[in-house]
Structure 1
């Protein structure tokens, strides 16, 4: 047989080539493994978990009785029902603490690899730039989910340890069982996770603009703060519905009977728009970027 003849594809050679779909899942698994093995990741998750703990301990040790409307929403209900610890902690964490952690994770997605000099090695086949970009975003989205669940679970546990637990009175005046209130807590965690996905997309885009991860992290957090400042200025009321932070505190509608999902739907549509826009910008930037490190 001529040396130039085509070599037949045998079962051995066929299996030697990893399927593109399998390679994508392997890359995602590797990304999640690296992300959740970092000490920095767990330090941020522990910091998030400390929010309901500090809040509950402070209320438990306080000798002053809280009046309705004093402090963050639901705080005056904590002493009567420990399940409100998680709700109050979520309100406290959303404006700064959760966006700060998301900014760190999302800002580090691409810029962190470039800063370490490992980015070009991740782009070898069968990964590719588009697949790597998607995997990095999914990793940031996974962190959003874990962070909100960590806060919710810690709030429920510390609330049950320090305060009585019983049926929850909703904002509408109706009372629901403990089991249903825990389901509402998970629904609120899902709401907040969705709320942070737009910021994660912005952080991913910013991360493609620089090789300095600290700069990308800081810029993402600054964008979050600026959006919230703009959202409270009455002169810019026309802009408010378009800001990714506009519905962040809208989960109060999930504490009514019957459940009002209109804010959830509006929030999901808004975050989806930000994901599409900034995902496209990140794609345009990253696929044309010269990778030197």
Structure 2
């Protein structure tokens, strides 16, 4: 069978799609993703962020003044649950986008670079379904990386510092159980924050057969968006940047619970999903797959 028999987008319209093929493909994608040493290396690196932060604070002989260092850092010695909150602030501008850029940038370009993309398209799943599966894998990794950071921060904080009721930014105090629930809510917030970047990475991945280039481009886009977000002259653009609400999860540490930033962030990410999802679809379904 020649590549021209299976690769053009219109040549597969008469092939019946086996029911359940999409779920099989998704299971295979997730299995491959989490069997890679690279994936586990990135998750270990993410887990080490709160560990290094907590150990540094524990071994430090100086006391931080309120507001000194990253947000919540001065509260770590008082309550170990703040280790996870501080690690989230430290990780989301660079470390988490870096891992997302690697995973999302590799989705399509990685298969093309290995020469396996056209074989995936031989299976009766379709290009659109393959795109959805690849994006689902990247989105799942976003959730796993964020939960890894949260769980690691909670465990190391409890091991090195006292744990008790948490005093929120509003001055109210909540129980340990409720603070753990809010930690999970923050993890959900950060996961949603990374969905737009994941879709941008998927789109960039459809443009090239060089996975390293797609990874680097995705990371650069993340950095550029954050630079634009701190330029006052571009304040009109800030609410539309996918990174603008990344640190808005601090509103979840107020009483009563404030979900306004969560909603605004979700709307922005959905817009990026729609725009770059359409671009990825337009590019991929018309692309001649030669590898």
TM-score tier (shorter):
over 0.9
Which runs of 5 or more residues in structure 1 are unaligned?
Answer: 1-16
Any idea what the Cα deviations from partners look like across 1:225-255, whole Å, max 9, x if unmatched?
0000000000000000000000000001100
**Worse-matched range after superposition: 142-151 or 124-133:** 124-133
Q: What residue number does 2:10 align with?
A: none
**Larger RCO, structure (CA 8 Å, separation 6 or more):** 2
Q: With the length of structure 2 as denominator, give the TM-score of the two structures.
A: 0.94
Query: Is 1:33 the equivalent of 2:31?
Result: yes
Superposition map of 1:195-214 within 5 A: 195-214=193-212
Query: Is 1:64 the equivalent of 2:62?
Result: yes
Displacement after TM superposition at 1:21 (Å): 3.8
Distance in 2 between the 1:243 and 1:173 partners? 31
Q: Match for 2:218 among 213, 220, 223?
A: 220
Q: Match for 2:251 among 249, 253, 266?
A: 253
| RMSD, matched Cα | 1.1
Superposition map of 1:1-293 within 5 A: 20-293=18-291
Which runs of 5 or more residues in structure 2 are unaligned?
Answer: 1-14
Query: Bigger radius of gyration, 1 or 2?
Result: 1
Any idea what the Cα deviations from partners look like across 1:117-145, whole Å, max 9, x if unmatched?
00000001411100000000000000000
Distance in 1 between the 2:63 and 2:16 partners? 64
Distance in 1 between the 2:160 and 2:16 partners? 53
Does the 8 A contact of 2:17 with 2:125 survive in 1? Answer: no
Extract structure 1 runs of 4+ deviating beyond 6 A. none
Distance in 1 between the 2:119 and 2:189 partners? 36
Q: With the length of structure 1 as denominator, give the TM-score of the two structures.
A: 0.93
Distance in 2 between the 1:148 and 1:209 partners? 28
Cα 1:35–1:237 shift into 2, 3 Å: same
Any idea what the Cα deviations from partners look like across 1:205-236, whole Å, max 9, x if unmatched?
00000000000000000000000000000000
